[in-house]
Amino acid sequence: MKIGFVGLGIMGKPMASLLISKEYETYLYDINKEAVDELVGLGGIACSSNKELAEKCEIIFLMLPAGKHVEKVLFADDGLAKNSKSNTLIVDMSSLSPEESKSFATKLQEYNISFIDAPVSGGEPMAIEGKLSIMAGGKEEDFNKALPLLNVMGANVVHVGDTGTGSATKLVNQIIVSINLAALSEASVFASKSGIDLNKMYEAIHDGLAGSAIMEAKMPKIIDRDFEPGGRIEINYKDLGNVQSSANAIGVPLPVSNLVKEIFSSEIANGNATKDHSFIIDFFERMANHQTPKGGKH
């Protein structure tokens, strides 16, 4: 089986490397030649264009920043739709709106190409370890065709329903992640300005009801003031924009999500778009005129 992978960024590169490590014949394309070269060194096969990759592969994975990038890769003249073989399966692991996923799937049917929306959760550490959560929408037979490959990249792979439901489930995930990030940030600033060592705060509460996967992943970064991106502020903000537009389309008010979206917007306006999404603590620190100390204790 010949596998294609387009999009070798923070998430895509480790995901593709896992497929290569399992000795799948994996063809690669990204505008970042260094990322391609690194994976070629592990056994991947470089392509010079999306067209070349499309002509070679039976299943093609996408991991791209936003819907506009997916649309270009799919439907440009040198893109996948016009150049893939009949019955190719495209598995889009980017984070899109359900409306975009449904639209792309419908357009691809004209080319006899199948489509699954299969976004992920877990960030770069879980991508490296092959322990992502993957939520997939599409026809069951297409999901089953992709499942052995998805199991290489994910520890929890669930077929949630028809096309678009994978993307919708990812938006559910992002609502919960984003609100939890804001709550963790607000609480950490309150604790620190109250004179509490953040290490002790974390020790005291992380096994209780307030504990969460977000706390486990991000509290150490906050304590160390390590904001190198695993998930970027700009990506979270894009996802919350998709949440807002999808919620508007189906008539679901999201007052808390929309408030948190504006916190992310503020951080982008202050030049922090590419920092880790845990850096929204900066918003709460500026309001409180208090920066949590590196190491957790003054």
Q: Which residues are catalytic?
A: 170
Distance (Å, whole) CA 133 – CA 212: 16
Q: Which tokens hold the place of 62?
A: 């996408």
From the list 167, 155, 112, 108, the residue with the least C-alpha distance to 130 is 155
Report CA torsion sign: 42, 45, 49, 54: negative
Distance from CA of residue 9 to its chain's centroid?
Answer: 11
Q: Between vectors from CA 118 to CA 70 and to CA 259, what angle results, nearest 5°?
A: 80
